[in-house]
Structure 1
Amino acid sequence: MGARMKKNCCSCLSVTMLFLLLLFCWSAPRLSAAAEKFDFNNMSDAQQRMIFAPQLVSGDDIREGKIAQRKLNISQMMRGENKPGVAGGDSYAKRLAILEKRVYGGGAAAGTGLRPKAGVMFSSAVSRHPAVDAVLPRVPQLLYQAGLVPVPTERLQSVLNNFRYRGQLRTPLQISRFLAEYPGARYLFFVQFIAFPRVFPGQLRFSYCLADGVEGRVYPAAVLERFVRGPGELSPALHSCFVEMAGRAAVQARAVPWQGKVFLVQGGVAYLSAGRFSGLAPGQLLVVDGGSRPVRDPRTGMVVGSVPGPPKAQLRVQRFFGDDLAEAVIVAGAGVRIGDTVRILPPPPPR
C-alpha cells in the first residue's frame, strides 16, 4: 500500500511540473509582446494605478536591482530652536559639495535665473541594462543643463515609500501634486519603457509622460526613437533621448511664471521648496498668493484659466539649507499655510 501511494504521489508531481513548464512556454512570448505594445494613452485609470503606484522605482533602485525602503524624516532637517539643520554636518557638507561639483558645476547656479525642479522616475517595465546603468548617473546634469533643477530620485522614492501616503498616491497626477510641495518637483518624468533592439541595425524606443504638479495635469505620453547600428551606439542613443526629454520640459517651463511652495510653517518662519539652485538669493522678497479665482467661458461655462488673488503675505529669504530649500521670514501679512504658492515680488510700476 505504501509503495503504491508513493508511486501515485511521484506521478502527480511529474504531471504538475510538466503543466507549469508548458504554461511558462505559452505565456512568455505573450508577456513580451504585451510589454512592447505598452501604451499609456490608451489605458484606463485603474490600469494606470496598477502600473505607477506599486511599481515606481528610482534610478538607485535600478542600479542596485532592488526597491529601497526609506523614510522621510523632516526632523532630520530641523533641529534646535526651529532652525534648519542636518544630522552629521561634516558628511552633509561633503555630500553637498559633491552635488555642486557633479551637477551644478561648482555652484554655477547663482545668477542664472529662476529654475523649476524636475525629477525622473521609472516604471517596472524599465529593466536593467548596461546602457541604462551608464546613462543614469548623467541624467541630473542633463536636467540642469536644460534649465531644470534635478531632484534626487532617492528623495522622491522615500516619500512614495512612506506608509502614510501610499494609499493617497495612486496615479501620476496625485504623485506630482504631492511632490510639488516637497521636495518641490514641479515636473515629474515617468519613463514608461525603454525597448532596445533585438537585432542590429535596429530602433531604440523610449516612452515617457510628463506630469506638472503645479498645473495639475499629465501631458500625453511621447515615444522617442533612435536608429542604432550596433551595441556601442545604445548608450549615446539613450543619452540623446534623455536630452530631448529634458529640453521639451524646459520649453514648457519657460512659458509659465516661476512658482514655489511652502512645505512647513513654524511661527513667523516659512520653509520653501526652492533654494539657491532654483535661483533665489538671500534677502529676496517673495509674495504668498491668497488664492486664485477661476475664469469661465460665458458661453460654455468651462473653466479656461484662473486669476491670482491679492497676495496675503510677504516673505524675505533668509538662508538656504538641504539640497535646494530655503528659510524665509514672514515680514508682512498673515495666514501663511502649508501648500501655499509663492512667487517673486513684482517690481513697482513706473511713475
Structure 2
Amino acid sequence: MDSTKLVSIIVPVYNAENYLHKSIDSLLNQTYPAIELILVNDGSIDSSGEICESYAKKDIRVKVIHQPNTGPSAARNRGMKEAGGEFLQFTDSDDFIDHRMTERLVQAIASESQLALCGYQKILTRGNRIIKSEVFRMPRNGTFSNEQFLKNFGELYQHYYIHFIWNKLYDAHLINESGLVFDTEVSWGEDLLFNLRYIEKCQNISLIPDALYYYIDSNASSITSQFRPNLYDNMQLMQGAVREFLQRNHAYTGKNKVLFENFYTSRVLTCFWNLFHPNSTLTPELTKQHIGEIIRNEWLHERACYFQAGNLEKKLIGSMIKRQSAGWLYRYYSLKSYVKKKSRPKEKKWV
C-alpha cells in the first residue's frame, strides 16, 4: 500500500455541536497518515462553525469552508471542488469511524479497484442513551469485476450497503473525469443516485466485511421520524432508478430481481404508514385519496406476487392492493396508528 496517496475526507456540517468533537477526533486519529479533512459548515446556527475552526487552528490537515445553508449535496459538491486527494471519503458530522477505516479502504482500493465498500454498525440513540446497536457485516470479501459485483447487487442492496456514501472510498480522478456531482434537486436518496452512476464507471470493486463505520441514528432523520408528503413519489423515483440501472446492466434477473422487488414492496408499506404519521397534514379524505393513487399504480400491480413472499402483514396489504380496497387499507392503518398511539408513553416521540 502506498501511504503517500492523499485521501480527502469531506464532511458536511450542520448544527452538529453535540457530536462534532467525537466525529472529527475519529477522523484525525486515523492510522492512515496522508489525509486532509474538509469540513463544510453548511450555515450552522449553533457552535459547529467555531468547533470546526478550533480544529483547523490545531491541525494543518483540517480545512474549513463556511457557506449558507444549501443542504448536504451542495456541501459535498463544494468539498469535492476543494479536495486535492487522489481518493475521496465522505462521512456525516454526527457519526464516527474506526481508527483503521481509511487505511483499510485504501488497501482494498489499491488492488486495481475504483471503489471500496465496508460494513457498518448502526447505533440507535435517544438523547445520550444507546437503545440498540446492530452490526452489518458485508456478506462478501475481496475484489470483484463489475460484472461479478452486479450479480450480487440485490444481496448488498437489501441491507443498504449500496445506498450510502459513508461506507465507501472513491477514486477522485474517476469522479472528475466523469463529471459526477450530487443532485441538489433531490432531497432524499441523492447518495444512492450518485453511487449508481459511479458504479457504472468502475471496472473492479472491493468489499471489506468488517463494520468500520459507526452510523448514529437518533431517529431525527429516519424515514419514519417525520411526515413526508412526497415520500411515495420519491420512493418511486429511487426504486425506478435502481430498476433501470439493473436492467441497463443486464443484472435484473434471478436472485437480484427477487431481492430488489421484495425490497421495493416493503418500501410501499412504509409509504402507507407515512400517511398516518401524527404530524401528517392530510385530512382523512386526502389520506384516502393518496392510498387510492398508490394502489392504482401499474408498477405495483405488476409486482403483486412479491407481497405474498413477505410476512403476514405484507401478505394482507398485498391482498388489499390486489382488490383495490382503499377503504380497508385506510381502516387497517387507522387502527394500527390508534393502537400505536395508545401503547406509546406520552413523553416519547414517534419512531
TM-score normalized with structure 1 length: 0.24
- The structure that has the greater radius of gyration is 1
More strand by share: 1
TM-score normalized with structure 2 length: 0.24
